[in-house]
Amino acid sequence: MKLNELRDIDGATKKRTRVGRGPGSGKGKMGGRGIKGQKSRSGVAIKGFEGGQMPIYQRLPKRGFNKPNRKSFAVVNLGTLAKFIEAGKIDTAAPVTEDVLIESGLVRRKLDGVRILAKGDFSTKVNLEVTGASKSAIEAVEKAGGTLTVTSAKAAE
């Protein structure tokens, strides 16, 4: 087999319909758009229009609410924090603050603060100072012999 002998399998490719190329093409004159009206003209897109019937997006009930000023926290799991401490990327001798977590590469950016969650195993004695933490995360750190200080009372809830 040579390069000039290569070809697609029958039915793999289909030529596109060239609209408005004479009566013999089957899509000549009006190009399948019908006679007159808004849809026969160029630059028209009637999205979501159902012929005067109430559109589906209006018939369906709306649910939920997106709080415009809600806080978003950078989330850190205790399991990943433990891995970074074991790897020597975080020094436990000094208090571990949000800035230390960013320098180590565990957190990319603070956002509205860093929140610690209790996912994973944790057994290192460490002093953590963060914006928020779950109750189970605080218990896990204290059980390991460390302390977890939450700087903002609202974030801990």
What is the pLDDT at residue 69? Answer: 92
What is the pLDDT at residue 93? Answer: 85
Q: Which two tokens stand for residue 5?
A: 């002998």
Asked whether the beta carbons of 108 and 86 are under 8 A apart, the reply is no
What is the pLDDT at residue 154? Answer: 52
Residue 115 belongs to some domain of the structure: yes
Residue-wise pLDDT tens digits, 81-93: 888 888 888 888 8
Q: Which domain holds residue 86?
A: 74-156
CATH number at residue 126: 3.100.10.10
Buried b (16+ CB within 10 A) or exposed e, 85-102: beeeebeeeeebbbebbe
Residue-wise pLDDT tens digits, 84-120: 888 888 888 888 888 988 988 889 988 899 999 999 8
What integer best gives the mean pLDDT of the chain? 88
Residue 57 belongs to some domain of the structure: no
What is the pLDDT at residue 156? Answer: 45
Residue 98 belongs to some domain of the structure: yes
Inter-CA distances, 40 with 16, 31, 46, 151, Å:
20, 9, 12, 64
Residue 107 belongs to some domain of the structure: yes
Residue 145 belongs to some domain of the structure: yes
Instruction: Give pLDDT < 50 ranges for the chain.
Output: 153, 155-157
Rounded to an integer, what distance in angstroms lies between the CA atom of residue 105 and that of residue 6? 51
